Chain A
Amino acid sequence: MDLCVFGVDDGYAEAIIRGLRASFLTEAQYQQMKNCASIPELKSFLEETDYQNCLQADNPQIPTSILRQRLKKKLADEFEYIEAQSTGILTKYLFHLRCRFMIDNVVNMIEGLKNKIDIEILLSNIDPLGWFPEIKNIKVLEGDDYSSLYRDVLIDTPIGVYFMKFLEESIENLHENRTLNDIQNLFREMKPEYIRTSLKKMWLEDFYSFCESELMPTSQEALLELLKFEADFKTVQVIYNSIGNRDLNTAAKIITTRKQLCPTIGNLYPDCEKVYLQAMTLDALREAVKGCDNYRDLLKDAPDPLKREEFNVQTKTLDDIMYDDECRRYALSFDGQGSYGVFYAYLKLKEQEIRNIIWLAEMISRKLAKNHPGWKKIIIPFSHLGK
């Protein structure tokens, strides 16, 4: 019965996404882009595709960073349109999707402020998908007091609840006789990647519980599977990156870091948790995930993280392998009608496309030879469907 009443509130928004799905670049178009000899040629090619309007005002020799800003702005405008046309639960859902980009923006701003970069430059570099009105209020107060930055300013933002949880967790992990100085030092020295991964993990879990409680069964069917896979992807990534990592020198440190950063949803979570928390080599990781899905096949070809220094542009890293599988799943989620999974998949695949275009633009601007292995490093959305 979902299908009979889906059209009432959400049919229009879904139909627009379907129309936008036809605007993805095909393999033939990627081939043509690879054959472009210079950036102006690439720009004029892009103007014939769906990206026509956003590049018209710039000069032909467009720098890559400006190109990225324009493409992202186009995606953000489209998404804003869809969000404006949606009602009820769909609006909440789309807003939730954007929180992920807000996290990125805020972490980037904080890092930029720590390194004393001018706030205007930071504001012009934020991802337009993650814009929210309170972002202009982020500035460091006197005395480099980061914890009060977290407490007072970020609380008002839509992602404030994640920062609160993060604060509590980090302060908890300090030793018993902690002083105010310790807390200040903690935040000053914390790595931005660590903050980012923690916050995104919390966002993912929050999003999962939102989907479980508020969406219709058709949407849940598609979305919960996608989110579980993404959580497993994050877990495997965290463990993989912590094997042989120079900063984590004791086993206890490794385990606490892993526990903090691995999401608690997904196929791997309760069953394989003990095993993967202890995994210290790639083979142990493979053993840990062998029960689930096709993860074992995915990890079969992964390069050994202990030999990290030997990686070059030719190795197919774990990230590449897992991105490939993720893109296949997102492409498959477009096959059902009446589910919210298409919004999520569209956002992810469009981001992947923008990454591809920027990668190719970089390759072209460096004028690398055509047999350089970097040309093959793009993952084309919908290529698995054989079209």
Chain B
Amino acid sequence: MSQQIWGNPQGWDAAEWQSDATWADRFMYIDPYFWSYFGVALALATSIIGASWGIFVTGVSLLGSTVKAPRIRSKNLISVIFCEAVAIYGVIMAIIMIGKIGPIEDIPTDQNGINLCYTYALYCGYSLFWTGVSVGLSNLICGIAVGVTGSGCAISDAQTPETFVKILVVEIFGSALGLFGVIVGIIQCSGATFPKVCPTS
């Protein structure tokens, strides 16, 4: 019985859902676990899209320039490492977020208790979803930025060795963007652990 009225603050039955519910009600009815797992997927997947975009853009230029200027091989792998770091940020955030998700052990039987529990769960779910969005999008753009700069770095290093260190500074600033996303994300999801036991007030 309790599963049927989880997320159902007015205690409606099926017919009342059809006739009286608004869009806001239906939106609230989406399970918090859906939001939280979606957030985990976003954080992980978009960070990795950004990192891989960066790696392919920089890898192509690195390979081409090395054909004629083999000395740049080892130094320019740093650009690839910077892009990889962006993917690692995504993995770290995903692991932290998964640690905060867990089943609720005993859901109370009265409607009031269920509503309290559901509200708290919604808070955790939304928090994890938007953490995923903020971390994922910032890592996506950061990966692209580091990648494009890295490709320029490989090319100009092949031509003029003195420019390598200067362009590396630009890449470091670029990879700081991903770090901002991670820092804000950690703070955002810090209090969002799904409760084991429902709060009573």
- A and B are interacting partners: yes
Interface residues of A (CB under 8 A from B): 3-4, 7-8, 11-16, 18-23, 337
Known contacts A16-B64, A18-B65; is-contact A7 B159 (Cβ 8 Å):
no
- A23 contacts which chain B residues (CB < 8 A)? 68
Quick check: B60 and A15 within 8 Å, CB to CB?
A: yes
- A18 CB contacts on chain B under 8 angstroms: 64-65, 155, 158-159
List 29 A–B pairs whose Cβ atoms lie within 8 Å, in order of A's numbering: A3-B148, A4-B53, A4-B144, A7-B58, A7-B151, A8-B56, A8-B57, A8-B60, A11-B57, A11-B60, A11-B61, A11-B151, A12-B63, A15-B60, A15-B61, A15-B62, A15-B63, A15-B64, A16-B64, A16-B68, A18-B64, A18-B155, A18-B158, A19-B69, A20-B68, A22-B69, A23-B68, A337-B151, A337-B152
A16 and B65 alpha carbons, distance in the complex (Å): 5
Cross-chain contact A11 with B64 (CB below 8 angstroms): yes
The interface residues of chain B lying within 8 Å CB-to-CB of A16 are 64-65, 67-68
- B68 and A22 form a contact (CB under 8 A): yes
Nearest opposing residue in chain B for A85, CB measure = B64
Residue B154, interface by CB 8 Å: yes
**Chain B 144-173, CB within 8 Å of chain A: the 1/0 string?**
100010011011001100000000000000
> Which single residue of chain A is at the shortest CB-CB distance from B70?
A19
Further 13 A-B residue pairs, CB within 8 A, beyond A11-B64, A15-B62: A3-B148, A4-B144, A4-B148, A7-B57, A8-B56, A11-B61, A12-B60, A12-B61, A14-B61, A15-B60, A16-B65, A19-B65, A19-B67
Chain A min CB distance to B141 (Å): 10
Q: Describe A's contact surface by its main secondary structure.
A: helix
CA distance A256 to B155 in the complex (A): 48
From residue A234, how far is it (CB to closest CB) to chain B in Å?
31
- Min CB distance B61 to A, Å, is 4
Residue interface mask B90-134, A partner, CB < 8 A = 1:
000000000000000000000000000000000000000000000
What chain B residues lie within 8 Å of A14 (beta carbons)? 61, 64, 155
Q: Is the CB of A337 within 8 A of B68?
A: no
Is A15 a contact partner of B155 (Cβ separation < 8 A)?
yes
**In the complex, what residue of chain A is closest to B72 when comparing beta carbons?**
A19
Q: Are A19 and B64 CB-contacts (below 8 A) given A4-B53, A7-B56, A7-B57?
A: yes
A285 to B144, CA, bound (A): 51
